[in-house]
């Protein structure tokens, strides 16, 4: 069935070297040895960190709630295996800074014993609101990298009466193949998750968009969706960053998402294929999000693979399992090489956002010898957001951040196309990441200053009010005393 979608020209982007052949043909490895300890951060999602409800020394079962969500934009955290809680403390985060964040340390018992899960006979008999509640309780977030709480997007889709659900199967980042293998091996479960999402959003149709360099995944997903007229599986061009939500929406539907708006406001919502699979497990079997498929690749990896690992597994253990040559590793990257984060060491845990871990050799890295700009405008031609990267970088160099914002810095998605294409090896995207962080820091400092000023002003008003009250009371006392003395004088005069 065709929904009459209007395919538009792809704006910007690059044909990056794919580096997928080492893992694309390998089935998902399911026998990863259970680590002795799991380090589970409470911040694995966009929004407020989860708040722990367990105690040190407490025994927990696999799937048990460890920390509950705080506020509307948050997600709970569950035990990836059974064992004993040995610590709740700060631990380095899987981030370039490796700054400490609050983390639960679980010592596994080797039993991998599940809590009793709640099965649903027919999940399509659940109210749409109930589907969202169960997805939220399962701690499911966007597994394409954004980690936005899925339940919130389902609710927004229902409230905004979204008419199209797009399932992102592009996986345009080089090296990564986890979504490709998931679609090849678990297509039926993904399609079931898509149907459940449609039910939860009360939406009529879905499009599964898969890049044309994944023919086996496309074939498997087409076969799985064949019986469901409301789901269409299409192929899209292989070009980075096709997975960017606004680019994908524009290509598939012909619609533009206005600046400052969410896609749901124009009737479209996007979810990742891994998210759909997690929804299937949560609604059908009551299983929260505890693990995911991770691509381990790069020139320093002797056994590249797509492996399913529990959250909280240290990267060092993953590298040992995949026989990574530590001496040959020049850079460790979480995610893909274009938008991923370069990590300082391997003693960091995998989290919900970990789609891949790369151990890259020096020969796989682009030269860092920066040369003067030759004004070729290549960065302008490849920018998918239609920005002028060089002009923004020039403003950032002279600390004119407001000028960089005026010409589009906030619209930059840090895709790295400009840095990738630059013949002078100018690290443009690094300038933009620095500037974005600096702007956020300045805004926070300004907000803190404004809040402090408000507190000082409020205190001054309060102190002035107290002083005025004291003056009035003093005047009242003086007046009362004068009145008493007058009355006393009158009485003495009468005597």
pLDDT in tens, 434-476: 998 898 888 888 888 989 999 999 999 999 999 999 999 999 9
379 annotated ligand-binding residue: yes
Taking a C-beta distance cutoff of 8 angstroms, is the pair 252, 7 a contact? Answer: yes
CATH class of 21-32+121-293: alpha beta
pLDDT above 80 (res 1): no
State residue 286's pLDDT score: 95
User: Does the domain formed by 371-495 have CATH 1.10.1060?
Assistant: yes
Omega of the bond prior to 171 within 30 degrees of 0, cis?
no
pLDDT above 70 (res 9): no
178 annotated ligand-binding residue: no
418 annotated ligand-binding residue: yes
Task: Give the predicted TM-score (pTM) of the model.
Answer: 0.88
322 annotated ligand-binding residue: no
127-136, 243-252, 269-278 — which is least confidently predicted? 243-252
> For the chain, what is the mean pLDDT?
93
State residue 48's pLDDT score: 93
Mean pLDDT computed over 110-137: 94
23 CB-side CA count, 13 A: 32
What ranges do the domains of the chain cover?
21-32+121-293, 371-495
Sheet containing strand 341-343, strands side by side: 305-310, 291-297, 356-360, 331-334, 341-343
Sheet containing strand 231-236, strands side by side: 231-236, 205-211, 164-169, 268-272
State residue 366's pLDDT score: 85
Taking a C-beta distance cutoff of 8 angstroms, is the pair 242, 172 a contact? Answer: yes
State residue 7's pLDDT score: 54
Looking at the DSSP bridge assignments, the partners of residue 83 are 60, 108
Q: Please give the Cα distance from 392 to 409 (Å, whole number).
A: 7
161-165, 281-285, 393-397, 488-492 — which is least confidently predicted? 488-492
State residue 490's pLDDT score: 82
State residue 68's pLDDT score: 96
Taking a C-beta distance cutoff of 8 angstroms, is the pair 243, 180 a contact? Answer: no
């Amino acid at each position: 069935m065709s929904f009459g979608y209007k395919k538009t020209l792809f704006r910007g982007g690059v044909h990056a070297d794919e580096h997928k052949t080492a893992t694309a043909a390998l089935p998902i490895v399911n026998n990863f040895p259970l680590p002795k300890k799991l380090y589970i951060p409470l911040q694995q999602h966009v929004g407020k960190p989860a708040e722990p409800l367990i105690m040190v020394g407490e025994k927990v079962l696999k799937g048990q709630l460890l920390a509950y969500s705080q506020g509307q934009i948050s997600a709970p955290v569950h035990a990836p295996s059974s064992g004993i809680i040995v610590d709740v403390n700060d631990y380095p985060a899987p981030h370039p800074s490796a700054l400490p964040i609050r983390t639960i340390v679980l010592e596994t018992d080797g039993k991998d014993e599940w809590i009793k899960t709640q099965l649903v006979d027919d999940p399509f008999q659940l109210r749409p609101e109930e589907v969202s509640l169960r997805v939220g309780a399962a701690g499911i977030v966007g597994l394409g990298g954004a980690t936005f709480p899925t339940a919130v997007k389902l609710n927004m889709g229902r409230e905004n009466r979204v008419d199209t659900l797009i399932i992102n199967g592009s996986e345009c980042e080089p090296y990564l193949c986890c979504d490709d293998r998931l679609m090849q091996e678990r297509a039926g479960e993904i399609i079931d998750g898509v149907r459940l999402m449609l039910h939860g959003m009360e939406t009529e149709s879905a499009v599964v968009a898969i890049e044309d360099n994944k023919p086996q995944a496309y074939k498997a997903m087409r076969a799985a969706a064949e019986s469901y007229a409301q789901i269409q599986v299409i192929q899209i061009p292989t070009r980075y960053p096709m997975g960017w939500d606004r680019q994908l929406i524009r290509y598939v539907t012909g619609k533009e998402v206005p600046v400052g708006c969410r896609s749901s406001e124009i009737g479209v919502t996007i979810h990742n294929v891994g998210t759909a699979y997690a929804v299937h497990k949560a609604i059908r079997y009551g299983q929260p999000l505890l693990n995911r498929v991770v691509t381990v690749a790069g020139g320093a990896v002797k056994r590249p693979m797509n492996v399913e690992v529990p959250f909280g597994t240290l990267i060092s253990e993953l590298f040992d399992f995949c026989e990574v040559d530590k001496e040959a590793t020049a850079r460790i990257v979480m995610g893909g090489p274009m938008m991923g984060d370069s990590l300082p060491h391997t003693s960091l845990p995998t989290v919900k956002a970990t789609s891949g871990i790369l151990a890259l050799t020096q020969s796989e890295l682009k030269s860092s010898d920066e040369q003067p700009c030759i004004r070729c405008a290549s960065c302008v031609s490849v920018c998918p957001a239609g920005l002028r990267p060089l002009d923004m970088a020039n403003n950032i160099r002279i600390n004119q951040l407001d000028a960089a914002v005026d010409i589009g810095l906030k619209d930059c998605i840090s895709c790295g196309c400009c840095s990738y294409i630059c013949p002078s090896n100018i690290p443009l995207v690094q300038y933009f990441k620095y500037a974005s962080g600096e702007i956020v820091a300045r805004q926070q400092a300004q907000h803190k200053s404004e809040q402090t000023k408000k507190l000082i002003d409020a205190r001054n008003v309060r102190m002035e009010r107290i002083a005025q009250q004291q003056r009035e009371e003093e005047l009242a006392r003086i007046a009362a005393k004068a009145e008493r003395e007058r009355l006393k004088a009158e009485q003495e005069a009468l005597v």
